[in-house]
């Protein structure tokens, strides 16, 4: 498990290799990841946007920017957690992801960025 705390918001991530499939005569590698967002600050915070940088071993990078996470903009009171699962598909058996969440402190309406730590995506059959 990968963990990081930024401004009282703890991000924990676990990944899973889901398998392979062919598309457009090319093998693809599917991964899932579970994210736990925990508010360890004394303030109520809401996640409003995300930015992901997905890097493949074949030097292909993709930036994904969007509102919320999996269709939600969770509000986290102090001590509360929000968990979600998502996934990505790579053209290589290895890669990494990192990024950030844009959050807003609901008591003063100030926005702040929370770092999503770099985590590895690795196909189980390709590990040493």
Instruction: Using pLDDT thresholds of 50, 70 and 90, give the confidence band for residue 126.
Output: low
Q: Which domain holds residue 25?
A: 2-117
SS (H, E, C) 50-113: EEEEEEECCCCEEEEEEECECCECCEECCCCEEEEEEEEEECCCEEEEEEEEEEEECCCCCEEE
* Residue 125 forms part of a structural domain: no
* Residue 26 forms part of a structural domain: yes
pLDDT of residue 128: 54
* pLDDT tens, residue by residue, 19-70: 999 988 899 999 999 999 999 999 999 999 999 999 998 878 999 999 999 9
Average pLDDT, whole number, for the chain? 94
Average confidence (pLDDT) over 106-128: 90
Joined tokens for residue 36: 């736990």
* Residue 124 forms part of a structural domain: no
98 Cβ contact partners less than 8 Å away, ≥ 6 residues apart: 52, 53, 115, 116, 117, 118, 119
pLDDT of residue 116: 97
pLDDT of residue 3: 96
* Residue 123 forms part of a structural domain: no
pLDDT of residue 127: 60
pLDDT above 80: residue 125: no
Which phi and psi (to 5°) does residue 123 adopt? Answer: -65, 130
pLDDT above 60: residue 73: yes
73-104 in b/e burial notation, b at 16+ Cβ within 10 A?
ebebeeeeeeebeeebebebbbbbbbbbbbbb
Instruction: Using pLDDT thresholds of 50, 70 and 90, give the confidence band for residue 124.
Output: confident
* Residue 14 forms part of a structural domain: yes
Tell me the Cα Rg of the chain.
16
């Amino acid at each position: 498990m990968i963990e990081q705390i930024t401004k009282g918001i703890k991000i924990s991530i676990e990944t899973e290799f889901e398998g392979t499939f062919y598309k457009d005569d090319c093998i693809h590698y599917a991964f899932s990841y579970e994210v736990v967002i925990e508010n360890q600050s004394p303030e109520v915070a809401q996640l409003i946007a995300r930015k992901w940088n997905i890097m493949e071993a074949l030097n292909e990078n993709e930036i994904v920017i969007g509102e919320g996470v999996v269709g939600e903009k969770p509000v986290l009171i102090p001590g509360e957690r929000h968990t979600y699962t998502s996934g990505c598909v790579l053209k290589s058996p290895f890669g990494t992801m990192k990024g950030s969440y844009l959050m807003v402190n609901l008591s003063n309406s100030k926005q702040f960025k929370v770092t999503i730590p770099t985590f590895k995506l690795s196909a189980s059959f390709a590990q040493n």
